[in-house]
Structure 1
């Protein structure tokens, strides 16, 4: 972990934290759409949606904890949010493949295609924001 952080990296860390904070609140306040896309094989879907909301909020807060306060909070949050993004991928696939209506509306592949393609980027972004990896931005040591 480095002790300095560029303003660009800080901006994107905050942006990801805000995204996950808002998503976590949405999971808790309005779980219906998330329940609709949850695959049938997920046990206790209502509790899972609630816990995913809590995980998003905790991860967002973890990304914002100063490293001097809790040195590995950002690191743990980065790993946690990356794993979270990996674990919810089946719901996104289910939503796309089965063309599930959310709020009475179905979405086209103009929505689903980029969403599915962006999921690995969310995983990488969480790892970058948490300081878990610097790839591909690391400088080579001579």
Structure 2
């Protein structure tokens, strides 16, 4: 690996880490937003919000250390799969969120791209 590609990879992992730590932290700072997107079949929206936020923060921190990067990557991929129903729920009920439906549907394909980025970061 060249010096430039190593730097570029570190930057990408760092950016991904910040994204997950930031998003996870928001679950604790503004839990009501996340509670509102949890599908109604989930028994306790607040617990789901806090657990997913904690998992995002832990995964983001785990990406920073080479020794924990692979397990953190797997955990984040599983988390992204687990929260997909909440994103789908948002897309199906855009009127609840004051956002355009097309934007909520358009963001769904970003989930697999984010999973790919997480997968690539593990090496």
Fold-level match, TM-score > 0.5? yes
Q: Hey, what does 2:59 align to over in structure 1?
A: 59
Q: 1:122 to 1:107 in 2, by over 3 A?
A: same
Q: Hey, what does 2:14 align to over in structure 1?
A: 14
Q: Hey, what does 1:124 align to over in structure 2?
A: 116
Give the structure, 1 or 2, with the largest relative contact order (CA under 8 Å, sep 6 or more): 1
Deviations 1:93-112 (A, max 9, x none): 0001122524xxx1113421
Q: Hey, what does 2:77 align to over in structure 1?
A: 82
CA distance in 2, matches of 1:6, 1:100: 44
Q: How does 1:22-37 map to 2 (within 5 A)?
A: 22-37=22-37
**After TM superposition, which residue ranges in structure 1, 4 or more long, deviate above 2 angstroms?**
none
Deviations 1:9-63 (A, max 9, x none): 2111111100000101100111111111110111221111101111011001100
Which blocks of at least 5 consecutive residues in structure 1 are unaligned?
132-142
Contact 1:37 1:100 in 2 (8 A): no
CA distance in 2, matches of 1:124, 1:53: 20
What is the number of residues matched between the two proteins? Answer: 121
CA distance in 2, matches of 1:113, 1:47: 26
Which blocks of at least 5 consecutive residues in structure 2 are unaligned?
none
Q: Hey, what does 2:107 align to over in structure 1?
A: 115
